[in-house]
Structure 1
Amino acid sequence: MPDGKRLRSLFHSLSESRQQALLDFAEFLAGKESADRAVAPPAEPLPIPRPAQENVVKAIQRLMQTYPMLDRNRIFHEASGQMTRHLVHGVAAAEAIDELERIFARQYQQHLESLTKDIEAS
């Protein structure tokens, strides 16, 4: 399993705080895989406030809970891009979270537009 060895090597080359962030992100991804899709999501975003102190992984988790009606696969690429900007390129957590907020809001608007088009086509 060369990917496993590479991942371990990369993990050990990170600072302790970045190792924790990577573990948090891995937990997020694992949760994404096992998400229960049987329950119909609400039509409106849930009012989950942004905490004063929040890391990027927790922000992604909060936003996924805030916008459960969105397709996680459509958001995953952009969300992971923000995680990369934060972990690899050193972008401040607050800046990455601000961009995540914009990404989710934009995806929600696109979701609404898609629903409107579906209704009009019926």
Structure 2
Amino acid sequence: MLPQPTGSAAERRLAKLYRSLSPADRDTLIAFAEFLVQRGRPEPGETMPREPKPTTRPDKETVVGAIKRLSQSYDMLERDSLLNETSALMSAHLLQGRGAAEVIDDLEALFARHYQDYLTTFAPQDRTGSA
């Protein structure tokens, strides 16, 4: 008798998909998983915005490396809100052949824009009701 497979059906499916990928695509999948796990959320009771911790962009950075770097630099951002746009940029690079440097420029702009949105959550609210 064969041993019973371990994990949920979703875990087994993910393992099967992982095994069918090329090494480069496996790295991409791992990077996305890490991206999802690092769901930077404001600490409870946080009243002051956190500053980004920028790091220098390497000369020959990959798109996956840029996502990791930017996720660490902007750890205060809500990852769910970045996921769709980040995924679209990654797909444009992998599936449509957009250049890494161009995609990384767009990723940097995306993270900066989301950081500006994050800052607005700390702006004083107009309580008078006037515009």
Q: TM-score, normalised by structure 2?
A: 0.70
In structure 1, stretches of 5+ residues that fail to align are: 12-18
Helix, strand or coil at the partner of 2:86: helix
| Counterpart for residue 94 of structure 2 | 87
**Residue type of the alignment partner of 2:30:** E
> Counterparts in 2 of 1:9-48, with a 5 A limit?
11=21, 19-35=22-38, 40=43, 43-48=50-55
Q: CA RMSD in A?
A: 3.0
Offset at residue 26 of structure 1 (A): 1.1
Offset at residue 53 of structure 1 (A): 0.8
Once the two structures are aligned, what percentage of the paired residues are identical? 37
**Structure 1 range deviating more: 43-52 or 24-33:** 24-33
Question: Would you say how many aligned residue pairs link Structure 1 and Structure 2?
Answer: 113
In structure 2, stretches of 5+ residues that fail to align are: 1-8
Name whichever structure is richer in helix by fraction: 1
C-alpha spacing 1:91/1:37, structure 2 compared with 1 (3 Å)? closer
Computing the radius of gyration from Cα coordinates, the structure with the larger value is 2
Q: Which has the higher contact order (CA 8 A, sep 6+)?
A: 2
C-alpha spacing 1:45/1:74, structure 2 compared with 1 (3 Å)? same
Q: TM-score, normalised by structure 1?
A: 0.75
Q: Distance in 1 between matches of 2:120 and 2:18?
A: 43
> Counterparts in 2 of 1:1-122, with a 5 A limit?
7=17, 11=21, 19-35=22-38, 40=43, 43-116=50-123, 119-120=124-125
